[in-house]
Chains A and B, each alone.
Chain A
Amino acid sequence: MLKINGKQCDYAGMTISEILELEHYEKFRVAVERNQEIIPKAQYDSVHVQDQDQLEIVSFVGGG
């Protein structure tokens, strides 16, 4: 199990892109942090999450 935004998820082994799709996030409107480190967008297809990872998906909405 790993945690995404504090919620337990069974996504070990998946890429960031796969998780974003499953959780209905838009790739170009998020920033993704794993274990206190930002994952660059260029690596969303190649980074695989692991058991015990803590993920934070920051979603940006319009307005400012």
Chain B
Amino acid sequence: MSEYVKEIKNPAIPSREEFYQALAERHGAKLQEKFLQSSVAICGLGGLGSLIAILLARAGIGKLSLLDFDRVDLSNLNRQQYFVDQIGMYKTDALSRNIHRIAPYCEISANTVKITEENIPKLFGQESVICEAFDNPETKAMLADTILTQFPEKYLVCASGMAGISSANLIRTKKITSHFYLCGDQVSELTDGEGLFASRVAVCAAHQAHTILRILAGLQDN
């Protein structure tokens, strides 16, 4: 159990077994066991990553690796899964706490780091799926290139195109190779006139989270 949960010492928190049973009733025991044994890395904890992490934690994924170098800012609160009293905190710390209030037995490894081509080999290990949730297009492309060439056995789920207020129906998931998925409308770029709306970013985040669950469930068709 995490340090945070120990701090609460709240007898009302259900046991690990009770949590597992409740999830197994929803998802089926066989699938739940797969989720529990799974490990997923989330790169970037902004509008996409913070929600993807929460969705995966709620699904009962056993281990989450959270990576981001940044702190929570007031401008994040329109779409990112943080609270006002967390402004100024590292996103890794704030999100770890938020997830543990939802899923106290989710094992989190939080890494406050700027991901570069050079440090990628050291940052990933047991995760079978890596989720790209950056905002910068060059960093997105760098991660895709590096992961797909250096870790060909891992699955990569990326995002491109979720800014603006165009229809949410344009956001979809595309399977690029056997281990590479892309979510988004592929064109809607963040510009001065085209902001990021929580609702449209959430659609893309949900596509990514759901694609990850399907990969873990062994349903790799699209």
B113 interfacial contact with A, CB 8 Å: no
Stretch at the interface among B8-16, B27-35, B89-97, B173-181: B173-181
B136 interfacial contact with A, CB 8 Å: yes
- State whether A62 touches B145 (Cβ < 8 A): no
Shortest distance between the CB of B8 and any CB in chain A (Å)? 32
B158 interfacial contact with A, CB 8 Å: yes
- State whether B177 touches A62 (Cβ < 8 A): no
Given A31-B144, A38-B145, A41-B145, verify A64-B138 contact (CB < 8 Å). no
- State whether B178 touches A64 (Cβ < 8 A): no
Given A31-B141, A31-B145, verify A63-B188 contact (CB < 8 Å). yes
Shortest distance between the CB of A19 and any CB in chain B (Å)? 16
Q: How many A-B residue pairs have CB under 8 A?
A: 83
Residue of A30, A56, A63 with highest tally of chain B CB at under 10 A: A63
Of all chain A residues, which has the CB nearest B152? A38
Shortest distance between the CB of A40 and any CB in chain B (Å)? 5
For B, the interface residue count at a CB cutoff of 8 angstroms equals 38
- State whether A60 touches B145 (Cβ < 8 A): no
The 8 A CB mask of A16-32 against B (1 = contact, 0 = none) is 00000000000011110
A58 interfacial contact with B, CB 8 Å: yes
Residues of A within 8 A of B184 (CB): 61
- State whether A62 touches B148 (Cβ < 8 A): no
B134 interfacial contact with A, CB 8 Å: yes
Shortest distance between the CB of B206 and any CB in chain A (Å)? 14
Stretch at the interface among B18-26, B42-50, B54-62, B103-111: B42-50
- State whether A61 touches B141 (Cβ < 8 A): no
Of all chain B residues, which has the CB nearest A38? B148
- State whether B190 touches A61 (Cβ < 8 A): yes
Given A29-B137, A37-B177, verify A60-B148 contact (CB < 8 Å). no
Residues of B within 8 A of A40 (CB): 145, 149
Roughly how many angstroms separate A25 CA and B154 CA in the complex, as a whole number? 27
Stretch at the interface among B119-127, B159-167, B212-220: B159-167
> From residue 152 to 200 of chain B, which have CB atoms closer than 8 A to chain A?
158-163, 176-178, 180, 182, 184, 186-191, 196
Roughly how many angstroms separate A64 CA and B141 CA in the complex, as a whole number? 13
Residues of B within 8 A of A38 (CB): 144-145, 148-149, 177, 180
Residues of B within 8 A of A29 (CB): 137-138, 140-141
B74 interfacial contact with A, CB 8 Å: no
> From residue 8 to 64 of chain A, which have CB atoms closer than 8 A to chain B?
28-31, 33, 36-38, 40-41, 56, 58-64
Partner of B161 from the list A31, A36, A56, A63 (CB cut-off 8 Å) is A63
